[in-house]
Each structure stands twice: as C-alpha cells, then as structure tokens.
Structure 1
Amino acid sequence: MLVIDDLSASFRRYNGLFRQDFITRLSNITLTIQAGEIVALVGHSGAGKSLLAHAILGLLPANAIATGTVSFEGQLLNQHNLVEHRGRNIALLPQQTSYLDPTANVGALVRWAALRGGKPLEIKNRLNRVGLSDDVAQLFPHQLSGGMARRVLMAQATSGGAKLLIADEPTAGLDPANRDIVLKHLRAHADNGGAALLITHDLIPVLSYADRIAMLKDGQLCCVAPTSSFSGTGEMLASPYAKSLWRALPQNDFYAYA
C-alpha cells in the first residue's frame, strides 16, 4: 500500500548573512507497509519519527529539502495529488490534541471528517466505536479529558474512510485501558483491509498489535523485524541497537547488551 524508497530530509539554515548550512534529519529511509498490516515505528525522542510522518504527507516546512520517493497504491505522491490523498486515502492521527478545533463541538469535528471523505456521518456510531458515549458529541475540546480527546482524534481519522492511518504517538499519556482502546481500533482497521504506521516510543504495548517493528535511530532505520523477534533475549534481532534496547527494558532486567 505504502512504499517509501530512499527518503531523506534536510533543513536549510543560514549561517551568517550569506552562508547556508544543511542539516540532515532523515537519511535513506526505505520501508513498505502492506494492506492488513500495522508497522510500528519506534525510536527515542528526536529520532525523526514525527518528521517521517510529515514527510510522507508532504507537510514539511518551506526550508526542508526532501529526496527519494513515496508511493501509495502504486501512485507516486507529489505536491499535486497529496491534497487529494490526505484525509480521503491517508489520514493523520496527530500527536497533539491541540489539533482539535476549539471552536467546534465533537459532533461537528467528526461530521467534517466524514464529509471530506464522502462517507456517511454516523456520528454516534463513530464515537461508540472508540468507546465514547453519544453525549460526547455535544462537548467541546476543552471539556474532554486527555483520553477522550485522543479517542475523538481516532474517530476523526477513521471517519473519512482512509485506507492508511499514520498514528503519531496516539497513546501518549493514556492509561492502559484507554491505550488499548486506541490500539485495538488500529488493529481492527488493519484487519478490515486498511494499514497503519504506528509511531511510538513505547515498544512493549504495541507488540500485541503490530505486525512489524521498524526502529529509527538518529534519522536512520536500523531495524525492521517481525514482532515475534522481540522475545527472549533478543537472539532473533540482527541489529545490535534493537537488541540493546530490548534487553535494556525493565521486563528484561535492564540488561545492557554489549
């Protein structure tokens, strides 16, 4: 469904009056996501996870220079067709709940998302699917708890019928119950023929939902492996970095792999 081929992203900045420097933040990223699949993109803060999501969607700032290609269902994504794909075929589930329009209630937010995708409104059903009651439709973003706001974002992202969901830290700050609601919804989306790129720094919870784990370190992919490889002592992991992170988790006795 999604093919990322040799994608790099650099940023231009001025050093003095006339000299320009280029800072590379993503280097030679190659990754595929198939229909029916969740790929979890794991990495430390600042590794470039959100930047990759924005690069896929063509949302980089004006001083960014991107090379390589991104294709969706065999069609090369570019500045001319990205607007058509965003929301209709590819939807972003953003990290910040501030993406919710503070001037509109939840019902309106979900309604707009469905209309953009040409889908039936079904506002109450869409809220119920993410564990929210009907009366939440009347609330405004400032009246929502953090968990409720993230589930509203999920309802928005899925209302337009997008095939590919790019979920940027969708479970950050959530308790286990709300976290699992979001992850189960992503899993159901993939099982119904969609796909998801799940961006997270929290490896353990996503192992029960993702098909593959892609690890990003300082803007470079260092590991792409099935979730089954993250078990035992990590003996099935070819990447020393991935093995080191796995062994250093509390569940693995904080062992530092050398």
Structure 2
Amino acid sequence: MTLLRIEDLTVSFVQYERGLRRRVVPGLTGMDLDVAAGEVVALVGASGAGKSLLAHAVLGLLPPNAVEGGRVLVDGTEVPPAERRRFAGRDIALLPQSVTYLDPVAPVGSQVRRAARLAGLPQPRAAAGEALRRYGLGPEVLDRYPHELSGGMARRVLVAIALLGDPRVVIADEPTPGLQADSAEAVLSQLRARADAGCGVLLITHDLVGALAVCDRVVICDAGRTVDTAAPADFRGDGEHLAHPYTRALWQALPANGLRAPRQDGICTTTGAS
C-alpha cells in the first residue's frame, strides 16, 4: 500500500531585486518517488540537490514566495499545499536535520510533553520520560535546556519527539550526523523497525553506506530532479550493476571505493591517495 507518492514535484521561488526586478529561482525541477507501508526508501544526492526542500514541500512548510507544481498524494488522494500541514506531526512526522528545531528557551521535558499531547497520548509526562529512555537519555535531560545538551543528545531528543505519535510516514532528514557510530546505528535500526511495523520511512541522507544497511530502495537525485532508483544489492563491487552513470559515480566516489571523481566525459579518476 502506497502511503506517500510524489509526482513531478517542482518548487521555485519568486524574488525581487531593487524593488521591481523579478526573478524566479528554481529549487526542485522534477522529483518523483513513492513510499509504501513497510519500507524504507533512501533519498540520496549531493548537497543542494533538493532533498530537504522536498521534505518541507510534502508537509506544506514552504515560504510564501514558493511556487509549486506537480502532485503530492497521501493514501492515493492528492493533497494541495495549503492542506498538508494537517498531516504534520500526526500521520506524517518530520525528523529534521538541524537541532535548532528545538526551542532554545523551553526545557526539553516541556517540548517532549507537548509533542506527546499533540500526538494524543493519554499520559504525556510518562510518555516523555519513556521516549527519552528509549534513546539512552536519562530523566535528568527533561529539566535541561537544548544548549545544555551535546549535539548527539539533542539529535536523540529530536528522534524521540518525531517518533512519539506513531506516525504512518516518517521523513527523516539527515538523522545521524553528530552521532557516534553505535548511536547512529541505533537510530537507523529504529527507523527500520518502524517500517517493519507497517510505517513508511523516507530516509534523506548523505550516508549512502549507512542507508544501504536498512533501506529497501535507493532514489538518487541531482539538481532538484530524481534521476534513478536502484536496489541496495546493486551497490557493490565497482558499481557495474548500477545502470545510471550518476548513481555509479556517487558509489565510486566513496572513500572505500577510491574517492574517484567523475570527469565531464563520465570517466572516474582517483582523487585520493594511492
């Protein structure tokens, strides 16, 4: 069952220079993907490829000067931009990339309890403590402010908040930077477990290797457009099983594969040490 479908999604921004000069800045130029119940779909691409912008578009969080085209469907029904926010935090949860999403002037406990109330949980205080404990955070964290947490602790708080309400779709935008290896693996395993329980997960990430351990499909994007969909099993060896040259170049550019950078003729050259 497809929970989320994105069809030819485009986003551009209208800007004015010197008062009257109008220009349109493209953001997304054609994104296509779908997420079914029970699967993790990894969206992978270079910085600036439009991955985070897609997440904000799905939840209706674009600024007023954004112009959108294409379609976003939830449970097979097209949802216009103005109506998407009603899904945010309930049916669709965003695990944001930046820890600045935490309110700097509110204790962690009040923020987690508020998320629990918005999710409709009957005992917000108990739910907040249990949510943090699940990610290795003790009850003392409830009384701390975000600036009193390490980067890894703050990111785990964000994970706890995002997954509190048992959403049907989780959009995880770079959920592992700043985490130690074991904590990053735990977060990815939790996302996998959510999918195995029937949730759909869109994992937006630069960490292709980490994503391959938990995802069912890999969607590759470049310059605001999806260019390829590949199976995790195809990412092996020299990339000979990857059909699209851009996908193959991303794989070959990983440190474990020689840090080979693509030239304009499509041939990869080694940029790392010999």
Q: TM-score range by the shorter chain?
A: over 0.9
1:207-246 deviations in whole A, cap 9, x for unaligned?
1011111111111111111211111111221110110111
1:170 correspondence with 2:175: yes
Residues 153-168 of structure 1 aligned to structure 2 (within 5 Å): 153-168=158-173
Q: When the two structures are superposed, what TM-score results if normalisation uses the length of structure 1?
A: 0.94
1:184 correspondence with 2:189: yes
1:31, distance to aligned residue in structure 2 (A):
0.6
Task: Specify the SS of the correspondent of 2:163.
Answer: helix
Query: Partner residue of 1:103?
Result: 105
Residues 30-49 of structure 1 aligned to structure 2 (within 5 Å): 30-49=32-51
Q: Aligned residue pairs: how many?
A: 258
Among 81, 91, 94, the alignment partner of 2:93 is 91
Q: Equivalents in 1 of 2:147, 2:26: separation in Å?
A: 37
Assess if the C-alpha contact under 8 Å between 1:36 and 1:190 holds in 2: yes
Among 176, 199, 202, the alignment partner of 1:194 is 199
Single out whichever of 12-21 and 97-106 deviates more from structure 2.
12-21
Query: Partner residue of 2:218?
Result: 213
Task: Specify the SS of the correspondent of 2:28.
Answer: strand
1:91-128 deviations in whole A, cap 9, x for unaligned?
11111111111222222211111111112432222112
Among 249, 253, 271, the alignment partner of 1:248 is 253
Among 28, 31, 36, the alignment partner of 1:26 is 28
Give structure 2 stretches of 5+ with no counterpart: 268-274
Assess if the C-alpha contact under 8 Å between 2:60 and 2:82 holds in 1: no
1:18-37 deviations in whole A, cap 9, x for unaligned?
34221222112111001111
Single out whichever of 32-41 and 173-182 deviates more from structure 2.
173-182
1:80, distance to aligned residue in structure 2 (A):
4.7
Assess if the C-alpha contact under 8 Å between 1:11 and 1:23 holds in 2: yes
Give structure 1 stretches of 5+ with no counterpart: none
Task: Specify the SS of the correspondent of 2:85.
Answer: helix
The 1:24/1:134 distance shift into structure 2, 3 A limit, reads same
Query: Partner residue of 1:57?
Result: 59
- What amino acid is aligned across from residue 31 of structure 1 in structure 2? L
* Percentage of matched positions with identical amino acids: 48
The 1:193/1:33 distance shift into structure 2, 3 A limit, reads same
1:160, distance to aligned residue in structure 2 (A):
1.9
Query: Partner residue of 1:134?
Result: 139
Single out whichever of 203-212 and 115-124 deviates more from structure 2.
115-124
1:120-161 deviations in whole A, cap 9, x for unaligned?
432222112222223222222111111111010011001122
The 1:17/1:142 distance shift into structure 2, 3 A limit, reads closer
Task: Specify the SS of the correspondent of 1:81.
Answer: helix
Query: Partner residue of 1:78?
Result: 80
Assess if the C-alpha contact under 8 Å between 1:8 and 1:28 holds in 2: yes
1:57-104 deviations in whole A, cap 9, x for unaligned?
111111110001101112222245323211111111111111111222
- What amino acid is aligned across from residue 65 of structure 1 in structure 2? V
1:229 correspondence with 2:234: yes
Q: When the two structures are superposed, what TM-score results if normalisation uses the length of structure 2?
A: 0.89
1:247, distance to aligned residue in structure 2 (A):
1.2
- What amino acid is aligned across from residue 85 of structure 2 in structure 1? V
Assess if the C-alpha contact under 8 Å between 1:131 and 1:181 holds in 2: no
Q: Equivalents in 1 of 2:81, 2:210: separation in Å?
A: 35
Query: Partner residue of 2:270?
Result: none
1:256, distance to aligned residue in structure 2 (A):
4.6
- What amino acid is aligned across from residue 46 of structure 1 in structure 2? G
